[in-house]
Amino acid sequence: MNMEVNKIISHALQSMPPSKRQKAFAKDTSKLIHMGLNENNYGMSPKAVAALEESMAGSHFYPDFAAVLLKQKVAEQYGLKAENVLTGAGSSAMIDMIGLTFLDDGDEVLFSAPTYGAFADMAYLNGGVPVSVPVTEEQKFNLPAMKEKIGEKTKIVVICNPNNPTGTYVPIGELEAFADTLPEDVLLVMDEAYMEFATEPDCCSMVDYMKAHLEKPILVLRTFSKYYAMAGLRVGYALGSEELIGIMRKCSASWNLNVCAQKAAVAGLADQEYYQEQKAKIVEGREYLEKEMAALGCRVYPSQSNFIYFDTGKDPAWIQEQLMEKGIRIGAFEMSRVSVGTMEECKLYIKALKEILEAAE
């Protein structure tokens, strides 16, 4: 007897298309060089590793439910109070909480595409409607087109800056001007997962704008997965007004940030010297990849992140498969995306890509 599962699952889930992200992650890639998920291949701070190892002995106790120390340390970085910080298992947990907190059936979530797929999933899972406008020819968020799409049903506007998967950014002046025009009943969500890798002077966080406009519904999302190399520990946070953060706490899962993750994150924040050294290496690798891929005839989009979006003129899925056969994993979207690995990994990748493109001529 077959279970009629559609009778018991939510209507929102029934209308949700299959997740492209889940399909992409379904293969065993443990033996490959990881250049596909925008991880920091240099690894976390030795001080964070030491804190992680030390904390394991106390893992038979529940973690600090409110992650008090971590919130305090995060708040200090931005000149905020702990009440302005919400922590959880990665910025993906923040996105889930945003959907639970703010979306009702039929509410629209607006963004430019391609962008981080979790926001469309958030809309579907909470009865909302994802509304996208294409990025510009330069693969940047199209703010004028987004502004035209804002209507009575718009509840959330999402801007990933720098954007994933394109690596491009919107200058701070344009972001602030756009935020000034948003209706007071529309939540602006700034996903800044990759902001720490930025080097252009006008690629800046919206935290200062948020601090100066606490009367506006604005949330800024950050993660420890990328810059701090803690993707496997799942640590992220949201910054916003005390009112917004207080409301979101109602949707926060109990003990959603384990004791080891909390200790490692606090130690990582205190070791900025280490991470600045790794950033310099990543920027060097980014510039190397951009130059070498352009020399191979690829169209390369200038990046402010730890990955590069590029077009070989061939099917991105085919390029991905060919590289996997050579032991390297990259991302495949409308175009291809490669994460910046160590310099040794970057050179191996360029050698493999060159062989693939030359063989395809």
Mean pLDDT, the chain, rounded, equals 94
E-strand stretches of 247-347: 299-301, 307-311, 328-329, 331-332, 336-339
Report CA torsion sign: 171, 280, 219, 308: positive
pLDDT at 3: 65
Q: Token pair 């800044």 is at which residue?
A: 192
Q: Where in the chain is the domain with CATH 3.90.1150.10?
A: 11-43+273-356
Q: Taking 60 as the threshold, does the pLDDT of residue 22 lie above it?
A: no
pLDDT at 252: 84
Statement: the pTM of the whole predicted model exceeds 0.95: no
How much is the average pLDDT of 253-276?
94
pLDDT at 2: 63
The SS3 call for residue 122 is: helix
Question: Residue 203 has what DSSP assignment?
Answer: -
Q: Where in the chain is the domain with CATH 3.40.640.10?
A: 46-269
Closest CA to 105 of 57, 150, 155, 140: 155
Mind listing the pLDDT tens digit for each residue in 69-125? 999 999 999 999 999 999 999 999 999 999 999 999 999 999 999 999 999 999 999
**Among the four given CATH numbers 3.40.640.10, 3.30.365.10, 3.10.580.10, 1.10.150.120, the one describing domain 46-269:** 3.40.640.10
Burial status of residue 214 (CB atoms within 10 A of its CB: 0-12, 13-18, 19 or more): middle
Q: Which residues of 155-175 are buried (b: 16+ CB within 10 A; e: fewer)?
A: bbbbbbbbbbbbbbbbebeeb
Is 175 within 8 Å of 161 (Cβ atoms)? yes
Rg (CA), the chain: 21
Instruction: Provide CATH code, domain 11-43+273-356.
Output: 3.90.1150.10
Q: Token pair 């020399």 is at which residue?
A: 295
Mind listing the pLDDT tens digit for each residue in 276-328? 999 999 999 999 999 999 999 999 999 999 999 999 999 999 999 999 999 99
